[in-house]
Every structure is written in C-alpha cells, then in structure tokens.
Structure 1
Amino acid sequence: MTLNHQEIELIDSFEQIAVDIHPTAKEGSRAVAQEIAALIKSRQATNQKVVLGLATGSTPKYLYAELIRLHKEEGLSFKNVVTFNLDEYYPIEPDALQSYNRFMREQLLNHIDIPEGNYFIPDGTVPKEKVKEYCADYERRVEEAGGIDIQILGIGTNGHIGFNEPGSSLSSHTRLVTLDNSTRMANAFEFANMSQVPRLAITMGLSTIFKAKRIVLLAWGTHKAKIVRRAVEGHSTDQVPASLLQQHPDCKFVIDEQAAEELTRFKEPWLTGDCEWTPKMRRKAVTSLALKLNKPILMLTDSDYNENGLNDLIVQYGSAYELNIEEFNGIRDTITGWPGGKPGAQLPSHPERSEPQHKRVIIFSPHPDDDIISMGGTFIRLHEQGHDVHVAYQTSGNIAVTDEFLLRFIDFAVGFEGMFDIDRSKSSQILEDAKAFLRVKKPSQKDTPENRAIKGLIRRGEAKATCRYVGIPEENIHFQNLPFYETGLVEKKPMSDADVDITVELLRQVKPQQIFCAGDLADPHGTHKVCLDVIFAALERLKHEDFMKDCWVWLYKGAWQEWNIHEIEMAVPMSPDQVLQKRLGIFIHQSQKDVIPFQGTDVREFWQRAEDRNANTAQMYDHLGLQQYAAMEAFVRYHFI
C-alpha cells in the first residue's frame, strides 16, 4: 500500500514514535546494521570513537550477525567502538550458558576487532553489598566515554526495556532490580526449569537509556505486536516502560511485518487514509467490523460501515446488503469436513480439489507432537477418509524431555534387564553412565550424546504411538532428524543444504498431492520457522518436477495462536467427541505433559492450548453468523508455483 502525504499525517495521529517496518527481521536488522556502520565510518574519518549501547536476547541476533559479516566481508573495523550492555542476570557466572556476558562474546565480540577493554557488560558476580557502588561506577564509565551515541533496545511482552519492568521510574539509574514473573517465564526456555531462572538482574535505568543521543528499538514477530501497539499508539506510562520512549527526541522502532500487525495502519488501514480494497482487505474489514460490534455479518448496516471509517467500501458496493452476502458466503465456503477434498463432488468453491479421490498426504511436524496438537482432528479425518497419510517428524525434539523423565525410562530399562536376567552388559553400562552424568549435571548443562539419543528415542516412541492411535502404518512414519536441530542446546544451527536434501528426498519418495506444514512465519528464531524454511527451500528445488504440479500446500499454526479469521482458507470443524479424541492423542506424549519445558508465559498444557485455540476459532465463526461447532482447525494455502 503506497502512502501519500495525507495518509502519513493520519498515521502520525496514531503513532507517537517513528516506526520503520521491514518484511522480515533479517531485512530490518540489515538496515540498522548499515546505520551503525555509517556512523562508525564517519567517526573513523575524524578519528573519533563511537559509543554503542547493546542489548541481548534473541531480538538482536540478526543485527550482530550482520555486523560480523560487515567486518569480515567488507572490512568494517570496530577499533574506534566502545560498547555498554544494558543488563545481566544476578547472580550469574560470566561463562554460564545463560549469561549475557557469554552471549555477547559468542554473538559478537569474539568475531570483530573491538579492542579488549572497549566493551563493558554488567558483572553478575559482584558481591551483593558492593552492587550499589558497582552500578554507580558503571554509570560513570558511560559518562566518561562521552555518552551513548546509539542505544539498541528490545521490548518485552510486558513492555520492559532492558530489565526496567512496569513501574520503573523515568529517573532510574543502573541498579539491581527484581524481575517480573512474566519476564522470568518468558526467559525460562533458557533454563532447565522455572526455579533456576534468576529473580534479580542488574540493568541500566530509564534515565541512563534516555541520555542516549539516538535510540533504536527492535521487535520481531506476532508475539510482540500487541505490546508494540501499546508502546507506539498508547498513552506514555510507566506501566509500559517502552511507551515512555515517546518522550525521547530521537527514537525509532524497527520492526517486521508480523510485529506491526496490531498497528492501526495494518489492522485497520481504512482509518489512516485511502485503502486498496482487495478481496482479502474487504474480508478483513467486514470481519473486523462484525466482531467489533458483536454482530453477525448479515446484520451489519450501512450506518455501521459509515460510522466506522468504511464509507468507501459501501460506496463501491452500493449497500451493506450486497457486501454482507458476498463475504458471508465466502467465509461459509471455507468450512469443510473433507480436508482432502470431497470425492465425487464438483464444488468450485470448496477449499480442496475432489480429485484425486484418495490423495498421498505428508504432514510435516517440526516436533514429534505438533501433528496431533496443531491439526490432530484433521490428521485423524484424513486417514479415516481413505487418504494415504504420511507423517514426517522433522526434529528429534530431544531437548524438550526433562532429566526426571529420562531417569524414569532408564530405571525401567535397567529394571527390565534385571527382572528377566538379560545379559546386556553394554546397554546396561550406557544406562548407568547416563544416570551417573545426571547426578552431577549442572543447571542447563549440555547433555551427553547418549542422553540426547535416549531422550530422542522417548519422543520417537511417543510419536509412533500417536500414529498407531490414528491408524497410520509404520512405513508411513518418517523421522528426519534434521541436522540443524542437533546442538543439544536451545540455540540451533542455521538451516543447511543437508536439511533441505533430507526433505527433498522424502518428497521425491512419497510424491504427495497434499502437504501440511507448520506455518509459523512469525517466529524468526524458533524451530518451527527453520523447519518451514527447510520445506520452502525443498519446494523451490522441486517445483518444476511433474509430481509437484499437482501438489497443494496447507499451512497450520502452532499450539499458541491461530490464523486471523480473514486469512483462513480452510476450516475443518470438530464435534465434542472429535475434540476428546484429539485430546487423548495428545496425552500419548507423556514426556510433554504436566511439566512443560520452554512453556514461556503460557501456563496451560499443550492439550489445553490446542482446545482453547480450536474452540475460539469455532466461536469466531459462530459470532459471524456461521454454523456453530465445538471446535475448528484452520489452514491457509501456500502457493509455491
């Protein structure tokens, strides 16, 4: 959508902070890296230093990767650069896996030519009685360096910047703070369990941050969209610390399209000026209005449209009546109980083709339970309706098995051999070694290869049991074990040709007519996103082969969120009995039940998340005036050719 002068003024009336929106996190990071590089070079020309304020966490990883590339490939020198980091957990050793000191060395400092002594990271080992003095000294170091030229920030889902939690004072300086529980839960994925997440941290204060000459806040992904809107368009309040940046004279947000979804210019673009009324935009406007007014689509009136900034749409259609009927019928046609197509029926508006009557289907599951959690009802129905269903488990999922659960299985295996007097000395030794390691294992220490293999075997067994539950034959179960995942840590390797080769080989073997995969485009750092990129790369490589010309790809979402109602192109309804059937299938994954590794801020179990999400989708259709169902699973078609 091209913005004219009037639209820019209207956007400015909503957005109180400058916002640069990029298609992806990588592109946004590259733009910020170029800005930093330009400042470094201009200061080098006059023999001056640059002082950067740096952030940690997943958000700035692409930025640091691009700065490293600029150094190694384009000769960007950091010899005139001084850096100060925002924060650090307390207490924590600098070499701990979760330490921000270690993060900075691994993600940036070890790969550039910044001089030793030119970078400063809060020390998580300072004795408690000396922390206040240490923090004051940190402030002095920043001032003596001449102040920060560019401060890089991320944003927490509760609006924190650095570790300045809601309620932080605008006059606060570098200090020891107590972490909000939501922050600890969001960061729990880095630790073995919630109890090991530090409750304290050292952070620059808001006053320190505001002294920076320029501030650039980065935000990527749908999970940041709501807080970005509150910070940019809401009132400036200490309950959303990032919103206080509205008061800074030179601040901008650099975000991707997913993080921008809740901004008025994306969510309700008709309010910011002229709007191009594409079919998708019409559906977005109509469904948004119906849900906002709590009215079925067919009950919307001309006045409803005119009073909510949608007069142009009514002028185009002549009346709400015609528009309502068209959109109601379009949404109705997304509903189908035949996700593989209805055999023998010529239905031009049906989401899927009726032919071939029995399709070869591949369900790609990033982890060994995403198939049943995210599309279990559809999975079961595809098999019951006679399709040749294959499941490809893309990763082992081994790091999501707790040590306690591993010990349970080791005890069983050792006890089994003892009970039946089986002489299997080698396997017994492996199991005893595994137990011995767990006895001395440090928090979040990387598992041994043997322990990871056993954890992977546990998840493989659960996945096989799920397929047996659905009725899938064993030869249709494929464990890909993509190499990018096998680091033993939360941090994964980038996608490689090896990952794509494995996927290409499976696609050529099965020659599917229908593919389902996790479409978590909003997750730039997680396993789901890498798994999707691998599939997209494989499809790109194979798109000219004959069997791919008759293949449709459907994207499902993960356990935490669903497609927006206007995006959904196929909705598969479920009865109460089918909801229960899906729940029992999820329960097979016992290693993921009751204690959920890396659950983030959501305390629900996976089966609860899935049921709530599917029920909410059904309720949305009901609110719009469509048929009422217990639950619905939703899909969007991906066009790769």
Structure 2
Amino acid sequence: MARLNLLEETRFEKLPVSVYADEHIASKAVAARIASLIKRKQAAGEQAVLGLATGATPIEVYAELIRLHKEEGLSFQNVITFNLDEYYPMQPDAVQSYVRFMDENLFNHIDIKRENIHVPDGTLKKEAIADYCLAYEQQITEVGGLDLQVLGIGRTGHIGFNEPGSAPNSGTRLVTLDDLTRRDASRDFGGKENVPTKAITMGIGTIFKAREIILMAWSKKKAPIIKKAVEGEISGNVPATYLQLSDNVEFILDTEAASELTRFDIPWLVKDCIWDEQLIKKAVIWLSSEVDKPILKLTDEDYNNHGMAQLVTEKGPAYNINIQVFNKLQHSITGWPGGKPNSDDSQRPERAEPAKKRSLIFSPHPDDDVISMGGTFIRLVDQGHDVHVAYQTSGNTAVWDTDVLRYMEFAIDFDKSIGKDTKELTAIYEKMRVFLEKKQPNEIDLPEIRNVKAFIRKSEAIAGARYAGLQDENIHFMALPFYETGKTVKNPVTEKDVQLTMELLQQIKPHQIFAAGDFADPHGTHIVCFRIIIEALTRLRKTEEWTKDCWLWMYRGAWLEFETHEIEMAVPLSPQEVQRKRNAIFQHQSQKDRPVFPGDDEREFWVRAQERNHETAVNYHNLGMANYEAMEAFVRWKFDEKNTL
C-alpha cells in the first residue's frame, strides 16, 4: 500500500527522484554511493570510471570524498575520471578553469594517478578541437565506458554545457553558451562580458552511455528548471528532459530544489492532505488563480473539479472556506507597519503597543533597504517610530572601476580648489590607474580601490536613509568582516560577525527587526547575513528579556517576491509613496542604469522593485481585495516554531 501511495504522489514525475532535507545530507549520500562503487571495483580488481561535474553543486560531494580518503582510507588508485566540460578558450591555471577547480576541490587532496585524470583542453587551436573531441570519446570507450556520471543542471536545463537545441545523440564537441548560462557565470568572471562564449562539452549521447547517472540540484533557484526536467515534456528546449529516456538515471535534490514538483507544491492533486490553515490558504489562492475568480466567488464545483474535493468535504461548504481565507488575506493588509496605536490589534499583523517602536532595518548591501522596503521604511519614519538602519556589508565589490577614478579626480580637484597639497592623493590616483589598466577579470582590487568603492556606497546609503527621514545617528555601518575579501567569494562567518551584530542589537533593543529574506541563492550574501542575525538573536534570547518582545519581519523584493499565500503583512503604497521610494533608490547612483552584478534580471533595481510591488497589489486585487497601486510584502520569522534556512 505504501508503494502504491508513493506511485500516486509521484505520478507527474517521469524519472526517479530522491529528496533530502538539505544539500549537506544529500551530498554525503552521493559521496557514499561513489565510494561504494570504487570499493566494489577495487575488490574485483577493476577500474572505476567516473564522469565528474564542476560548479557549486558537487563541491560538498568532493569534500566528503576527500574526508573519506583522509579519515577512512578510501583510495582512488583505481579511479579514472572524465570531466564533463571546460570553457573555451581557457588556460588551465586561470581562476575560472575547471582544471584548477578540480585540482583545488578534489584531485590535489586524494591519491588519484594524474594520468587517470581527463579534463577537456581549453587551450587547443580551433582547428584541432574536432579531432580532440573524437579522441576524448575514444578514451572513454577504451576504458570500458563511464560507470557513473555525476551531473548538475543549469537554469537553461543544460547538462554539461549541452544548451537548448542540443541533440539527444550528440557527442563531445565545441558549443556556444546560452546567454543565461553566461549571466549565471558572470560573477566568477567579473562581468558577463568576460565569460567565454564557447565551451567543450561531453554530449548528451555520451552522458547516456554511463551505466549510472546522478543529477544533483540544490536551492530554490533550481526549482523551476527541475520541475520542467522532471515533469515536463521531452524537448530540445530543455536538454535535461532527455534524461527521462534513461533507465539508469536518478535526480537527487534538496527540499528547496524539489519544492515546485507537484507532490510538494500542489499536493492536493496527488494525495489526501492534512489541511492546516496555511495549506488551505495556499490551495484557495491557487484555485482562485486557476479558475480566474475572486476568492468569494469560488464554488463547491470549482473545488471538486480541481482536485480539492477532500478540502470542501472536510472543511466546507466552499463559502465558509472562502470567507476564512478572504479574512486572513484582508487582515494582512495594513498601512501601519509599526502597529496602529490605540486600536484593536487582534486582527492586525503588528502590535499596537508600544505606540512608538524602535525599528531596526538590517540591509545586507547598502541599497537593499530602500529597494526592498523603501515605502515601509518611509512610512515607519513618517509615523513617528524610532527607526534605525544597519548596513551589514560595504558592498565594495559592486562598484564600477571607472567610478573610482571619477571620485578620485573629484577629490583631487576639490583639494586643489582650497589650496591643499594634492601630491599624496595624486600618487595614490596614479597607482590606481596603473593597476586598473592591467586588471584581470575578478582580480582583487588594491586596498585603496576597495576603500573608495566602500566610501561611494556608504555616501549613497547615507543619502538614501536621509531621504527616508533618518537622522545620521540612526544610520549604522557594520562592515561585517566575512564580506571584506575583495573577492566575490566571501570568507566563512566568524565569531566577530556575530558579536558585532549582538552589540548593535543590545545598543538599540528593537521592538521589531526587518531583515532580507531572499534565500534563493544558498551561498548569497542575503542568507549569510540573515543567519548571522538569527545566531545573534538566538544567543541574546537566552539572557536578555527585551528579545522576547522583539519581532523579526523578513522582506524581499530586490530579486524576487514572496508568494501571495506566504505574505503575513502587506503594506500598501499610494502613487505618491511609490515615487518617494523610487527617489530613495535613485540616491544609489553607482547601482543605477547598469549595476555591476545585475543577476538574471536585466531591469534596473528601481524598475524591478516597482513592478514587483505593483504585481503584489494586482495579485491581492485579483483575489478580491482593494485595488492598490503597489504593496510591499513581509513574512514574520517565528523563533518558537521550527524555522529552517
């Protein structure tokens, strides 16, 4: 019976999928399977032939294999490896090369024979590539083929660098990279313009010949493409869907990457559910969208025809459910994000008392505050709360080099205008110019350049916070040490990061905290900064009484928005307030027009924020709520419940 239930739950899935609680557990499971294969082959006196991938996804797998080698004696003497791909052109010692990646993350730490390592050669002359690719295929064949192929997946659906349009029988070859793939790699190369346009990759046909294929994916960022690959129709537009044709494949996912699969996202379509308040809210909002009706117009028939008969049977009739969800949504809307004084707050998102709250806005980068919650920021100040903003990092990697020289030239000219000696400043300026003329992509800036970039962003943050109405003494710059590497890859969080955060919290003793809740990128600055806040508050909650009355609200908006069913506080903005928010964002001139790290959204930050806030308001209106110009959305983090990152 359990097997039948599982088959019913997974009936939309066209290949085997295993879901783990997080990427750490999943990575150890994959490493254990690789180790088991190696040991079986060793016992039989045979070679284990592995197809390996690069990128962030397999890093913890390789770390666990290194641990197994060093601590448990796992030997790689009988292992032969073939890597999936390499950028072209690419020198093997370049920071971005996959030769270097594999050495640093695996090969340099185990006892594999160097002659058994194969990574596509990114240094070849173009006319030599075709013959090289044929020879690469022949080498795989000569050692008996791949026993196990490890894959990641790109957001285009590519496996290896087999981009949309790749043929299912394709072999190793030179390919042109999709624009989205190059955008995703831009941070490693210091800008998309520095990412190679081509790569050498094993083909889909080559991958298919492996006796076992494991595709791994972690994080919410991969969820949309995982849904297409697992549940979508086979199509050259999503090369990973070809894996549905294999009898030897398994997708290994964490819960976030699996979150858009039907059994997790829309479970009522595949199984009976335990209908708690949050699931009812999600299901009714989904149904409203499916049938294009406001919530209060949904009928029993709508429920029955869309897989929700169980809900209407257990909790119905439909109108009672509709009223319950409608009221829940209606009560999430408030023009008083700090609480409305002298009012009944039993149905409001925030407490009425104290009437004047100490509000602390944590901003991971120097512009997240106004981009993500600028309207609410201004509203809190206008309504008389004691608002503080804390910029957790300097953001000094996200300023154009040309801006540095421009600001230095301004400083020199100003000193000259007041008769000040500019010899020392001019010498630093010339040193900067020489460095920047020869600077390589992603090369670490000189300390003086990093300082100027930090000063630029600091001055913009001050201007934005002042525009929102803050006094200078309420603007705090934390410069958390984990960020100050000068590189896009940051240091691990240390005790110093937590202590600095605890000290600020103890100084302000806020009644409410606002923090960035964008967790799509598990290695991004936002989630790192949020974890520091949680650790600091967790420690303080053990000894300091004020923390028991401190609420933590998560905001989004710079990169994505909360789903409507998740929103617990929606702050409506008038057209005039939207304009004020836009003006606050405009204070961040270094991020305007074309920021250094735009992500996969080509719109300017103010445009993204404005359109996402408008979309949230439209979603509420379509569900039957009032028609606002825009809305900023928040979700409360509840320490007394199980919250996971």
- Shorter-normalised TM range: over 0.9
Which residue identity does 2:254 align to in structure 1? D
Q: Is the 8 A contact 2:518 2:556 kept in 1?
A: yes
Give how far 1:598 is off: 2.3
What secondary structure does 2:566 align onto?
coil
Correspondence for 1:572: 571
Tell me if 1:276 matches 2:274: yes
Correspondence for 1:431: 429
Q: Could you say if the C-alpha distance between residues 558 and 318 of structure 1 is closer, same or farther in structure 2, counting changes exceeding 3 Å?
A: closer
Which residue identity does 2:272 align to in structure 1? D
Q: Is the 8 A contact 1:7 1:272 kept in 2?
A: no
Correspondence for 1:288: 286
Q: Equivalents in 2 of 1:414, 1:82: separation in Å?
A: 59
Q: Equivalents in 2 of 1:505, 1:72: separation in Å?
A: 40
Q: Deviations over 1:343-387 (max 9, x none)?
A: 111220111111111111211111111111111111111111111
Q: Equivalents in 2 of 1:356, 1:69: separation in Å?
A: 53
Which of 346, 349, 355 aligns to 1:348? It is 346
Q: Equivalents in 2 of 1:399, 1:48: separation in Å?
A: 49
Which residue identity does 1:356 align to in structure 2? P
Q: Is the 8 A contact 2:518 2:559 kept in 1?
A: no
What secondary structure does 2:564 align onto?
coil
Q: Equivalents in 2 of 1:198, 1:233: separation in Å?
A: 32
Which residue identity does 1:571 align to in structure 2? A
Q: Deviations over 1:541-587 (max 9, x none)?
A: 22222121111111112412111111111111111111111111111
Q: Deviations over 1:157-207 (max 9, x none)?
A: 121111101111111111001112222222222223332221111001001
Q: Is the 8 A contact 1:6 1:273 kept in 2?
A: no
Give how far 1:125 is off: 0.7
Correspondence for 1:590: 589
Tell me if 1:110 matches 2:95: no
Q: Equivalents in 2 of 1:319, 1:172: separation in Å?
A: 55
Q: Equivalents in 2 of 1:9, 1:166: separation in Å?
A: 30
Q: Is the 8 A contact 1:97 1:445 kept in 2?
A: no
Q: Deviations over 1:13-45 (max 9, x none)?
A: 200111112232222222212222222233333
Matches within 5 A, 1:151-300: 151-300=149-298
Matches within 5 A, 1:29-48: 29-48=27-46
Q: Equivalents in 2 of 1:487, 1:47: separation in Å?
A: 47
Q: Equivalents in 2 of 1:298, 1:523: separation in Å?
A: 37
Give how far 1:589 is off: 0.8
Q: Deviations over 1:320-350 (max 9, x none)?
A: 1111001100111000111111111122011
Q: Could you say if the C-alpha distance between residues 305 and 232 of structure 1 is closer, same or farther in structure 2, counting changes exceeding 3 Å?
A: same
Q: Could you say if the C-alpha distance between residues 71 and 418 of structure 1 is closer, same or farther in structure 2, counting changes exceeding 3 Å?
A: farther
Q: Is the 8 A contact 2:571 2:633 kept in 1?
A: yes
Which residue identity does 2:389 align to in structure 1? V
Q: Is the 8 A contact 1:159 1:231 kept in 2?
A: yes
Q: Is the 8 A contact 2:219 2:254 kept in 1?
A: yes
Correspondence for 1:526: 524
Correspondence for 2:603: 604
Q: Equivalents in 2 of 1:485, 1:220: separation in Å?
A: 23
Which residue identity does 2:260 align to in structure 1? E
Q: Deviations over 1:434-474 (max 9, x none)?
A: 12211111222221222112111111111111111112122
Which of 111, 122, 127 aligns to 2:120? It is 122
Which of 356, 361, 364 aligns to 1:363? It is 361
Give how far 1:481 is off: 1.4
Q: Equivalents in 1 of 2:44, 2:126: separation in Å?
A: 42
Q: Is the 8 A contact 2:405 2:429 kept in 1?
A: no
Matches within 5 A, 1:323-342: 323-342=321-340
Give how far 1:424 is off: 4.4
Correspondence for 1:487: 485
Q: Deviations over 1:389-426 (max 9, x none)?
A: 11111111111111122222122122222333311433
Q: Equivalents in 2 of 1:270, 1:160: separation in Å?
A: 31
Q: Deviations over 1:81-124 (max 9, x none)?
A: 22211111111212222222222222222233323222221111
Return the TM-score normalized by structure 1. 0.97
Q: Is the 8 A contact 1:22 1:28 kept in 2?
A: yes
Correspondence for 1:441: 439
Q: Equivalents in 2 of 1:197, 1:449: separation in Å?
A: 25
What secondary structure does 1:611 align onto?
helix
Q: Equivalents in 2 of 1:219, 1:89: separation in Å?
A: 21
Structure 2 regions of 5+ residues with no counterpart?
Answer: 641-645
What secondary structure does 2:165 align onto?
coil
Which residue identity does 1:384 align to in structure 2? D
Q: Is the 8 A contact 2:10 2:263 kept in 1?
A: no
Which residue identity does 2:314 align to in structure 1? Q
**Bigger shift: 491-500 or 278-287?**
491-500
Q: Equivalents in 1 of 2:349, 2:513: separation in Å?
A: 14
- What RMSD, in angstroms, separates the aligned Cα atoms of the two structures? 1.6
Which residue identity does 1:186 align to in structure 2? D
Which of 400, 403, 407 aligns to 1:402? It is 400
Return the TM-score normalized by structure 2. 0.96
Which residue identity does 2:592 align to in structure 1? K
Matches within 5 A, 1:378-389: 378-389=376-387
Which residue identity does 1:469 align to in structure 2? Y
Which residue identity does 2:625 align to in structure 1? L
Give how far 1:514 is off: 0.8
Q: Could you say if the C-alpha distance between residues 489 and 628 of structure 1 is closer, same or farther in structure 2, counting changes exceeding 3 Å?
A: same
Q: Could you say if the C-alpha distance between residues 546 and 229 of structure 1 is closer, same or farther in structure 2, counting changes exceeding 3 Å?
A: same
Q: Could you say if the C-alpha distance between residues 166 and 394 of structure 1 is closer, same or farther in structure 2, counting changes exceeding 3 Å?
A: same
Q: Equivalents in 2 of 1:176, 1:491: separation in Å?
A: 29
Which residue identity does 1:573 align to in structure 2? P
Q: Equivalents in 2 of 1:441, 1:553: separation in Å?
A: 42
Q: Is the 8 A contact 1:270 1:309 kept in 2?
A: yes
Give how far 1:526 is off: 1.1
Give how far 1:211 is off: 1.0
Q: Could you say if the C-alpha distance between residues 490 and 439 of structure 1 is closer, same or farther in structure 2, counting changes exceeding 3 Å?
A: same
Q: Deviations over 1:32-59 (max 9, x none)?
A: 1222222223333344332221112222
Which residue identity does 1:497 align to in structure 2? E
What secondary structure does 2:496 align onto?
helix
Which residue identity does 1:390 align to in structure 2? H
Q: Equivalents in 2 of 1:134, 1:186: separation in Å?
A: 28
Q: Could you say if the C-alpha distance between residues 385 and 70 of structure 1 is closer, same or farther in structure 2, counting changes exceeding 3 Å?
A: farther
Tell me if 1:508 matches 2:500: no
Give how far 1:258 is off: 1.9
Q: Equivalents in 2 of 1:316, 1:15: separation in Å?
A: 28
Which residue identity does 2:195 align to in structure 1? V
Q: Is the 8 A contact 1:228 1:259 kept in 2?
A: yes
Give how far 1:60 is off: 2.0
Q: Equivalents in 2 of 1:188, 1:204: separation in Å?
A: 22
- Tell me the matched-pair count: 639
Which residue identity does 1:435 align to in structure 2? R
Correspondence for 2:643: none
Give how far 1:531 is off: 1.2
Q: Could you say if the C-alpha distance between residues 375 and 97 of structure 1 is closer, same or farther in structure 2, counting changes exceeding 3 Å?
A: same
Q: Could you say if the C-alpha distance between residues 77 and 427 of structure 1 is closer, same or farther in structure 2, counting changes exceeding 3 Å?
A: farther
Give how far 1:261 is off: 2.1
Q: Is the 8 A contact 1:158 1:240 kept in 2?
A: yes
Q: Equivalents in 1 of 2:422, 2:545: separation in Å?
A: 50
Which residue identity does 2:537 align to in structure 1? L
Correspondence for 1:476: 474
Q: Equivalents in 1 of 2:309, 2:257: separation in Å?
A: 28
Q: Deviations over 1:181-240 (max 9, x none)?
A: 222222222223332221111001001111111111111222221111111011112221
What secondary structure does 2:565 align onto?
coil
Q: Equivalents in 2 of 1:65, 1:518: separation in Å?
A: 30
Q: Deviations over 1:229-284 (max 9, x none)?
A: 11101111222100000111111111222222221111210111111101111011
Q: Could you say if the C-alpha distance between residues 81 and 501 of structure 1 is closer, same or farther in structure 2, counting changes exceeding 3 Å?
A: farther
**Bigger shift: 83-92 or 35-44?**
35-44
Q: Equivalents in 2 of 1:196, 1:214: separation in Å?
A: 35
Q: Is the 8 A contact 1:217 1:252 kept in 2?
A: yes
Which residue identity does 2:127 align to in structure 1? E
Tell me if 1:464 matches 2:472: no
